[in-house]
Structure 1
Amino acid sequence: MTLSISARFAFETDQPTDVLLQFEAAAIPEQRIGKANTSLTQAEHCARVPAEDDIGERIWLRSQGRFDVEYSAEVTIERLLPDLGTLEALSPHEMPGEAVKYMLDSRYCPADSFQSFVEGEFGGTLGGARVDAIRQWIADHFDYAPGSSHVNTTARDSFIERRGICRDFAHVLVTLARASTIPARYVACYAPRVEPQDFHAVAEVFLADPTVEGGGAWHIVDATGMADPAFTAKIGVGRDAADVSFLTSFGPSNFLFSEVRVEKL
């Protein structure tokens, strides 16, 4: 399946400011980038650097005044999609090095404090069945409420308030999976069924790879139910939203607008 993606956003700064951007679909084996174009306002400094786990790229800027970004691409998704509920978990000692940090607490995902909860609520499940049960529990207990959270909202805050946006749903799923000793990471992405259309966030969990005996693989899970893994284009991954924000400003800035459109071709 091929997606047509376009995104525009702008921000401004009163003085020269360092800004880190990550908004382009990643060129990785499970998704092939076709026609793509990125247009940026001229800046004092502009350089590309690898993103987390070498999935996608970030762009370092140093700019002053208004800065506009325009991006378009066609992305063909070629992802294996096993039945999540049938996948087994790997024991911690079987985890590859890349997965270890995704078992630990991070800024927005305090997993250790949820260990008693997950055992009480999901104690009869393991592996992919546990993740599927967590996803369903979030869907049943949380309200999708734009404007209900902010940049400092953690998974604990969302758990208490039982509401949030895609970012918060992803943080809660990541947190409860890690509390279950299942590596989980935050994924920034594009998907066509997101309402309202915007940059989206889902989770990925590290479970058995059904195509490789004894192997493991990352599998997309969206607690909001809006993104189908078959039609989801990854931008980047991280421990939580702090690692993969589409715009991180290292100084005062004013965000002006964003527009995102994702369609199936």
Structure 2
Amino acid sequence: MPTTRRTVSAEVAFAAETDHLAVLSVAAARTGGGRPAERLSLRVDGVEAELEEAEDLHGTRLHLARVPGGAQCTVSYALELDGGAGAPPPAESVDFVRYTRPSRFCPFDEMAGTADALFPGARGGGYGTLQRVRDWVHEHLDYVAGSSTATDTAVHTFLTRRGVCRDYAHLLITLLRGLGIPARLVSVYAPGLSPMDFHAVVEAWHDGTWYVLDATGLAPRTEFVRIATGADASETAFLTTLGGEITLGEMRVSAESSAPGTEDQEARVVLPLPDGRGSGVTGR
């Protein structure tokens, strides 16, 4: 049987208005093995900058560089990944605390009682609760590009009933946490996504496993390549500036699979680390 190959890439241009520390989160999550054919660079005024790699939660790889004010910068990343996918990162006890607390974009404490009112009797309802909440968000939001800002929280999305992938993810996380279910945001490369971009999805905990949920339904979950994992988009942004300002320029993201799958929202899917082993489908 031919080996499935996923090819992903990203190019992000930005202008540094002032001196700052740039934090990139575009590389696929860490694995225990090698990562052949991976390339990452940051060019500052045409000269390749030195990048320092730092590991964040759940295999997230951050790359840091000092950038002077006035510089024109380009981030380039490419990865070819053969095979399926390996095991998800292990869950730690603190995860169940971290991912049931309110966070910057998922303030479920401001929506007190909303989750229980929308889903009566859903607490302790098993995997069906995850699917039920996912379906509600999918059915009640409209995907509208440009309809939200970088500071909008799940409360704003709930009220306006529209947004993009991060808004869908934030509202889904907020409602799940409101039901006492640990949930977190994952940024991914998503073969099959249209329009193509970095994609935000959700992992929710049930019975010893983190299951991936995508309320947009825009791409097959079995094709996703994990980039970063955190409480919400504040911990998974593809570019963060510390101590300065930038102007974002042109951005291009690509994600392709040699054997494209189709999305089955009834399937239970895990989002493993991208080490090229095994399968991400666990059943229905």
Q: CA deviation at 1:257?
A: 1.1
Displacement of 1:227 after TM fit? 3.1
Give me the whole-angstrom Cα distance separating, in 1, the residues matched to 2:21 and 2:135: 40
Structure 1 CA distance for aligned equivalents of residues 34 and 11 of structure 2: 21
TM-score for the superposition, normalised by structure 1: 0.85
**Partner Cα distance (1:262, 1:32) in 2:** 20
**CA deviation profile, 1:7-50 (whole Å, cap 9, x unmatched):** 11111113321111100111337x98442111221466631111
Q: 2:53 aligns with which of 48, 54, 60?
A: 48
Q: Does 1:217 align with 2:216?
A: no
Return the structure number with greater helix share.
1
**Of 42, 60, 63, which residue of structure 2 is paired with 1:59?**
63
CA displacement 1:201-239 (0-9 Å, x = unmatched)? 00101111xxxxxxx121110010023221110101011
1:82-125 Cα deviation digits (max 9, x unpaired): xxxxxxxxxxxxx8222210000000001123342222221243
Moved more, 125-134 or 193-202: 125-134
Structure 2 partner of 1:19: 22
Partner of 2:115: 118
How far apart are 1:139 and its partner, in Å?
1.0
| Residue type of the alignment partner of 1:245 | A
Q: Which structure shows the bigger proportion of residues in strand conformation?
A: 1
The alignment-based identity, stated in percent, is: 32
The residue that corresponds to 1:198 in the other structure is: 197
Pick the aligned partner of 2:230 from 218, 235, 238: 238
Instruction: Say if 1:204 and 1:67 are closer, same or farther in 2 by CA, change over 3 A.
Output: same
**Inter-CA distance 43–4: structure 2 relative to 1 (3 Å threshold):** closer
CA contact (8 A) 1:48 1:60 kept: yes
Q: Residues 12 and 130 from structure 1, CA distance in 2 versus in 1: closer, same or farther, beyond 3 angstroms?
A: same
| Alpha-carbon distance, 1:127 to partner | 2.7
Aligned match of 1:77 in 77, 84, 104? Answer: 84
The answer to whether the 8 A contact 1:79-1:230 is kept is: no
Q: Give 3-state SS (helix, strand or coil) of 1:168's partner.
A: helix
Q: 1:261 aligns with which of 254, 264, 267?
A: 254
| 1:42-191 alignment, distance < 5 Å | 42=47, 46-53=51-58, 55-64=59-68, 65-75=71-81, 76-78=83-85, 96-125=93-122, 126-191=125-190
1:4 equivalent in alignment to 2:7: yes
For 2:86 and 2:117, the matched residues in 1 are separated by 34
TM-score of the pair, normalised by structure 2: 0.80
Q: 2:187, 2:236 within 8 Å by CA — same for their partners in 1? A: yes
Within 2, Cα distance between the matches of 1:32 and 1:262? 20
Conservation of the 8 A alpha-carbon contact between 1:190 and 1:232? yes
Q: Across the two proteins, how many residue pairs are aligned to each other?
A: 244
Q: CA RMSD in A?
A: 2.2
For the 8 Å contact 1:32–1:78, the answer to whether it is kept is: no
Query: Relative to structure 1, is the Cα distance of residues 109 and 218 closer, same or farther in structure 2, using a 3 angstrom cutoff?
Result: same
Q: Secondary structure at the match of 1:69?
A: strand
